[in-house]
Structure 1
Amino acid sequence: MQYKDYYKTLGVARDATQDQIKRAYRKLARKYHPDVSKEPNAEGRFKEINEANEVLRDPEKRAAYDALGSGWRAGDDFRPPPGAGGYRDFHFETDQPGDFSDFFSSIFGRAFGGEGREPKRHRGRDHSIKLAISLEDAFQGATRQIKVQVPDNGVGGQAATQSKTLNVRIPAGVTQGRQIRLAGQGSAGRHGGPAGDLFLEIDLKPHAHFTPEGKDIQLRLPIAPWEAALGATVTVPTLGGSVNLKIPAGSQSGKKLRLKGRGLPGSPAGDEIVVLEIAAPPANTEAARELYRKMAEQLPFNPRAQLGV
């Protein structure tokens, strides 16, 4: 069989600290995880990375591996020394014999327990899916029945999928990207281990009028030129119903007015940010065009004065 250089697999030096090994493993595990990676042979690389980490993260197993000597190179023909391959009362993160190579087994013995030992309990994997909801549901809270497909491969083994129908309570005030944890609804555990969790990531659907910004919501409000110039009190929609808003005289497009506590609920609640947009009436009749001509004559106004033209 061939010698495996676990340090080379993780890309660390032989004198690497445990923190360096941990960081290297996490970086490579994210890159090659079969559920998300598009790298070639991601599943094979992921197993190699896990095997290397299984040895190097544990001081006892690392010492046993280092005892083989530092003169070996990856791919060298390897023959285990006498006495190697015993179980040695080591503990392992998997109970699947296919998860570790023959090289590993020649040093540490069978990775899935010795004779008469109870198989190790394993917690199932956590999983995350997106849940699209309306802004109204985020404001009021809701209960939804959803159907999900959860990978049910636990730790190792052949991938499978479990279909579930779940009743989900959406709390009032949830924001974009917030996660709702459903305990025990992830992949099943192994050998009596607990199931993993399912995380629902909130994805707010686009709204016809409002744009969420955290717990605040933004509304672009069209107003007439005379409302902007003279001031006015206008009716404004909110998620909780219509309210009156006072427009200050002399307002310009882009001015922001705040309706305190009219955003998504919480402690504190968000606000509704009203952005004014002056809308020009259409000049679609002769009377309207005449009025515009009179305004042009009687109002000495250059909207481009600040541009120097």
Structure 2
Amino acid sequence: MEYRDYYAILEIPRDATLADIKRAYKKSGRKFHPDVSKDPDAQQKFIQAKEAYEVLKDPQKRAAYDQLGKDWHTGENFDVPPNWEGNFEFSSDGFTQGDTAAFSDFFESLFGGHFGHRAERAHQARSAHQHFSAKGEDIHAKVQIDIEDSFHGAVRSLTLPASPLDGTQPQTVNLKIPKGVREGQHIRLGGKGMPGHGGGATGDLYLEVSFRPHPLYRLEQKNLCLSLPVTPWEAALGAKIKIPTPTGAIEVTVPANSVSGKILRLRGRGLPGTSPGDMLITLNIVQPKVETEQEKALFRQMQDLMPFNPRSQFGFKS
């Protein structure tokens, strides 16, 4: 039986991360997909890449495979070590008879005993080579939405690019944005990924959510943040100020003797959800421009009446 170097098949180093393995598999899938590749051995290479991925993506099976050592090379004569099945405990998670039926004798010898009798699998393998089918690859992309979309929920039109695999033209789909969706979450569009092969199901499209920059708000996880400009007299005397929110205007109370940078917390006014976020309002005291003699006189009067030294910590009298 011939040894299979799964790392060489995916063209990755033996210390590759799971993310490296996934990227390499997707690259091989696109390169050797039988519907697009002109390579006469495309189907065989496509199955080899899938076999390598099925082993290396699973930490337990990858660790078992790595126990064989790194001195073997693809095509070399190989015998399964004695008591191989007794050395490791495998679960069948991630493998099914349909997934692995077309895989090599090498795979069968190492892992096949965990998925059915060899004679039955050999028959499945022959049938699979004649009628090979595979689900299309999932596509991952990013989509930007407005902060208001998360507060209200929305339906937005999204144009998907043409697929080079099946010749489809760009298509417009309706993207349903759920209320309360947050940065980094994924929205799944079933059947909008890469087409399958041999009658296999089409893959899915997973859209990672990010928010467009907003002129008023910014998000800190589920909390909505707003910078609120206030006048010196509003900060000193206290005031009731109307502010905008994604769900409508509300009135907030600025306490007397507030300082710049003070944060007012409105509980439950952040992103909606089972545990909604808060709205965090940061006060920003804005100094008016002093131009007329009357305005200057007013500030001189304040200077005389209010012996205030904001730099007292420096140890100087003035």
TM-score range for the pair, normalised by the shorter chain length: 0.5 to 0.7
Q: Distance in 1 between matches of 2:314 and 2:147?
A: 40
Q: Which residue number corresponds to residue 138 of structure 2?
A: 126
Q: Which residue number corresponds to residue 245 of structure 1?
A: 252
**Is the counterpart of residue 138 in structure 1 residue 130 in structure 2?**
no
CA offsets, 1:206-251, max 9 Å, x none? 1111111222211110111111111111111111111111111111
For the aligned residues, what is the CA RMSD? Answer: 4.3
Q: Which residue number corresponds to residue 20 of structure 1?
A: none
- Alignment counterpart, residue 205 of structure 1, candidates 212, 236, 240: 212
Identify the structure with the greater helix proportion. Answer: 2
Deviation at 1:192, TM superposition (A): 2.1
Query: In structure 1, what residue type is equivalent to 2:139?
Result: H
Query: TM-score normalised to the size of structure 2?
Result: 0.65
Check conservation: 2:3, 2:77, Cα contact below 8 A. Answer: no
* SS of corresponding position for 1:199: strand
Q: Distance in 1 between matches of 2:217 and 2:186?
A: 22
**Is the counterpart of residue 254 in structure 1 residue 267 in structure 2?**
no
Check conservation: 1:152, 1:188, Cα contact below 8 A. Answer: no
Deviation at 1:92, TM superposition (A): 6.9
Check conservation: 1:239, 1:263, Cα contact below 8 A. Answer: no
Q: Is the deviation greater in 115-124 or in 230-239? A: 115-124
Q: Which residue number corresponds to residue 26 of structure 1?
A: 18
- Alignment counterpart, residue 169 of structure 1, candidates 173, 176, 179: 176
The change in CA–CA distance for 1:269 and 1:79 in structure 2 (over 3 A counts) is: closer
- Alignment counterpart, residue 241 of structure 2, candidates 214, 221, 234: 234
**Is the counterpart of residue 293 in structure 1 residue 292 in structure 2?**
no
**Is the counterpart of residue 276 in structure 1 residue 288 in structure 2?**
no
Q: What percentage of aligned pairs have identical amino acids?
A: 35
Q: Which runs of 5+ in 1 are unaligned?
A: 13-22, 37-45, 82-89, 105-111, 154-158
CA offsets, 1:39-64, max 9 Å, x none? xxxxxxx98876655688899xx99x
- Alignment counterpart, residue 186 of structure 2, candidates 179, 186, 195: 179
Query: In structure 2, what residue type is equivalent to 1:205?
Result: R
Query: TM-score normalised to the size of structure 1?
Result: 0.67
Check conservation: 2:26, 2:137, Cα contact below 8 A. Answer: no
The change in CA–CA distance for 1:115 and 1:222 in structure 2 (over 3 A counts) is: closer
Query: In structure 1, what residue type is equivalent to 2:200?
Result: G
Q: Distance in 1 between matches of 2:196 and 2:131?
A: 12
The change in CA–CA distance for 1:50 and 1:218 in structure 2 (over 3 A counts) is: same
Query: In structure 2, what residue type is equivalent to 1:144?
Result: R
Q: Which residue number corresponds to residue 156 of structure 1?
A: none
Query: In structure 2, what residue type is equivalent to 1:121?
Result: S
The change in CA–CA distance for 1:272 and 1:163 in structure 2 (over 3 A counts) is: same
The change in CA–CA distance for 1:221 and 1:80 in structure 2 (over 3 A counts) is: closer
CA offsets, 1:135-189, max 9 Å, x none? 2222221111110126565xxxxx9776321111112222222211111211122
1:98-117 counterparts in 2 under 5 A?
114=126
Q: Distance in 1 between matches of 2:275 and 2:252?
A: 21
The change in CA–CA distance for 1:170 and 1:271 in structure 2 (over 3 A counts) is: same
Query: In structure 1, what residue type is equivalent to 2:5?
Result: Y
Deviation at 1:119, TM superposition (A): 2.1
* SS of corresponding position for 2:170: strand
Query: In structure 2, what residue type is equivalent to 1:141?
Result: G
Q: Which residue number corresponds to residue 305 of structure 1?
A: 312
Query: In structure 2, what residue type is equivalent to 1:181?
Result: R
* SS of corresponding position for 2:235: helix
* SS of corresponding position for 1:143: strand
Deviation at 1:275, TM superposition (A): 0.5
Q: Distance in 2 between matches of 1:197 and 1:190?
A: 14
Check conservation: 1:152, 1:162, Cα contact below 8 A. Answer: no
